[in-house]
Amino acid sequence: MVVKEYEKARKLGLKEVRKHTNCGKYPYLPVLDDLLEHVDIIKEQNLGLVEIPLNQIMGTKSRGRTNAFSSNFMPVLENDTEFAIKWMNLYQSHLNEGIRDPIQAYEFMNCFYIREGNKRVSVMKYFHADSILGNVIRLVPKKDGTKQSEIYYEFLEFYRLTNINYVNFSELGCYQVLLKHVDSSMDIWTLEKRKDFKACFDRFSIIFEEQKLNRYSLTNADAFLIYLDYYGYENILTKTQKELKNEILKLQEDFDCFPDHRKVNLKMNADSFKSGGVIRNNLKLSIAKLKIAFLYEKTPQTSKWTYSHDLGRQAISQEYGSRVETYPYYNIQTSFDGINAMEEAIHKGCTLIFTTTPRMLNACMSISVKYPNIKILNCSLNTCYGHIKTYYGRLYEAKFLLGIIAGIIDHSGRIGYLADYPIYGSIANINAFALGVQMVNPEAKVYLHWFTEKEKNAEMELKADQISVVSGYDSMIPNSDHIRFGLYDFHHQEESPVALTLWNWQIFYSKVIQSILNNTWKKEKLKPGEAINYWWGMNAGVIDILLSSRLPYGIRHLVESLKGSIQNRILYPFSGEIYAQDHILKNRDGNKMTAQDIMTMDWLADNVVGNIPLKKELTGEAKILLEVQGIRKEDRSRL
């Protein structure tokens, strides 16, 4: 019997040798000594006795018995050799009492190479075991700037906190995201927490592999993190096998898209919502009443952003009358709050939900897969989740016009710009303003400061910079006497702004509602691997500017003419020669920048004095927003 088992194992080994030979690949075990010939090892660390995942054992430490095994650790020598006899004895020993003696191994880049115990590994792999005990020495290579090296160093920090070696990601930033999903405290994991996590991860992995979803380029850990983004970690162990399987299968398209995620289909105007005219109460409609929920992070009394969105909600309530019923939810501070509010809204009969900040993305994702027939839209930019749609405004068009005004009325050559968060779209706003200044005042500089930088006072810094004209808050804070918003004269605090940007959310909300009531929403279907982002601008009316009568008529007339050119797609703020700081050419003369390049800008125009702050330099609230919408990949806690 033992001889037959050895022959079965040998056939598997010989088959692997032939497969690799036919493909021109080395057919035997990789040798760590060969791999390390040109690697700078900066530290050896004794990890002690470790449970080694067998699928991460890749080869042997030195040449020795290399040719006795195929690359999958199956034996290839004849069954009458001393090697074969020892292998069969180990096989019988494992049947009788199990292989108890730990192997000796080296870990390099979270792969394991055997110094002593190759045959034990071979037997355990033949039995399809998950792991084997071994005494392990870790070889830590010097950072070399490659993606693989960066991921490994992220793993080392993850291992320090968890003592887990079987989680392998293929993209940067994932270990930190996983830690936050499981325990936001970032403390060292207890034995109980490690056991619970392994149970969760194993449950997921078994179903994921059974459904053959791991045929894609993602690892089990990559797929598990996608799952956690939608469903969270807390309740995995309480779900039935059927529930877990159904949830995983719903994410197949997300798995397909990895690692590039879904392609973001930017809808730049309202054409896709053409529906044959404005709805009137005397039209025959397929929907008697549309119930709509609006979720806000703050209240209209405490937030200008919430205030502008709530004005849109109130306006559509008046516009559509009895055809719609709106339900506002305020102070949604966490994903848990968002999920609860949406569950309540759905229970009330809401079939359309607007969530008005990027911080609610995770809650939207969870609800979207649970209730696929509910229409959910999130106010954010460059979001690649096909289960929801997102919307935002091209504010940079208005900022470009404000920059032109600032450049004309300024006499000092020093113009201020107060920014909030370094997220998608915000850098385009800064640069568009700077390009507007440059168009009419080439020598002027734009001094950039951030509201959200820790331990800094933006207004004091503006004074120190001897600024005259400032682009500040985009709109007035509700119930506040503070008038320093829009574009204003820094030295005349009592004066209202000379120009300001406007968000007309009513227009977007009305178009969406109109398409649903006219039953044309379904015509705009997602293509496989696609996510829809609505990014409307001045031509749709979502973005506008308001000019003060204190501005000279000539300036107002010029700006209105330029506004018309933008609306008619004659003038593009990001066209022609554009240079970044240090005089780096970003756009050539005669070219227009693509919407994708504008949206994801991570550089500043060459007439801007200042920088884009790092995540660690910002306030807590700003850090949370950067985790879902930060322009730097390392800031975002998402794949």
* Mean per-residue pLDDT, 414-420: 93
Copy the structure tokens of residue 109.
Answer: 């880049």
pLDDT value at 573 more than 90: yes
pLDDT, position 482: 55
pLDDT, position 492: 66
φ, ψ dihedrals at 85, nearest 5°? -65, -45
Residue type, 603: W
If we measure between CA atoms, which residue out of 197, 235, 204, 198 comes closest to residue 218? 204
Tell me: the pLDDT tens digits for 176-199?
Answer: 889 988 987 778 999 999 999 999
Cα-based distances in Å from 69 to 50, 52, 85, 136: 24, 19, 14, 21
Q: Is cis: bond before 141, omega within 30 of 0?
A: no
* Mean per-residue pLDDT, 601-626: 91
Tell me: the pLDDT tens digits for 330-373?
Answer: 999 988 999 999 999 999 999 999 999 999 998 998 899 889 89
Q: What is the CATH number of domain 1-142?
A: 3.90.1530.10
Least confidently predicted of 133-137, 273-277, 487-491: 273-277
CATH 3.40.50.2300 boundaries in the chain: 286-382, 395-505+539-629
Q: How many CA atoms lie within 13 A of 157 on its CB side?
A: 15
pLDDT value at 270 more than 50: yes
Residue type, 410: D
Distance of CA 186 to the CA centre of its chain: 20
- Confidence at 639, pLDDT banded by 50, 70, 90: very low
Which residues lie across from 575 on neighbouring strands? 592
Q: At what angle do helices 220-231 and 191-210 cross, to 10 degrees?
A: 100
* Share of residues in the chain with pLDDT > 90 (%): 67
pLDDT value at 493 more than 70: no
Tell me: the pLDDT tens digits for 23-37?
Answer: 888 999 999 999 999
pLDDT value at 624 more than 70: yes
pLDDT value at 7 more than 90: yes
pLDDT, position 230: 87
CATH for 286-382, options being 3.40.50.720, 3.30.70.560, 3.40.50.2300, 2.60.40.10? 3.40.50.2300
pLDDT, position 478: 64
Tell me: the pLDDT tens digits for 213-234?
Answer: 666 678 999 999 999 988 889 8
pLDDT value at 491 more than 90: no
pLDDT, position 252: 85
Q: What is the 3-state secondary structure (H, E, C) of 64-93?
A: CCHHHEECCCCECCCCCCHHHHHHHHHHHH
- Confidence at 459, pLDDT banded by 50, 70, 90: confident
pLDDT, position 280: 44
DSSP E strand stretches across 174-272 = 263-267
Tell me: the pLDDT tens digits for 586-596?
Answer: 999 999 999 99
- CATH H-level, domain 395-505+539-629: superfamily: Response regulator (3.40.50.2300)
pLDDT value at 281 more than 50: no
Mean pLDDT (the chain) is: 89
**DSSP assigned state of 95:** H
- Confidence at 527, pLDDT banded by 50, 70, 90: low
pLDDT value at 456 more than 50: yes
Cα-based distances in Å from 443 to 44, 55, 429, 607: 57, 62, 20, 8
pLDDT, position 246: 92
- As a whole number of angstroms, the distance between CA 208 and CA 254 comes to 13
pLDDT, position 210: 87
- Confidence at 393, pLDDT banded by 50, 70, 90: very high
pLDDT value at 284 more than 90: no
CA angle 494, 499, 501 (to 5 degrees): 120
Tell me: the pLDDT tens digits for 73-97?
Answer: 999 999 889 999 999 999 999 999 8
Cα-based distances in Å from 98 to 139, 188, 268, 568: 29, 32, 65, 77
- As a whole number of angstroms, the distance between CA 566 and CA 436 comes to 13
* Mean per-residue pLDDT, 527-537: 83
pLDDT value at 548 more than 50: yes
Asked if residue 396 lies in contact with residue 573, where contact means CB atoms within 8 angstroms, the answer is: yes
| Long-range contacts of the stretch 204-207 (C-beta < 8 A, 24+) | 204/236, 204/244, 204/248, 207/241, 207/244, 207/245, 207/248
pLDDT, position 154: 95
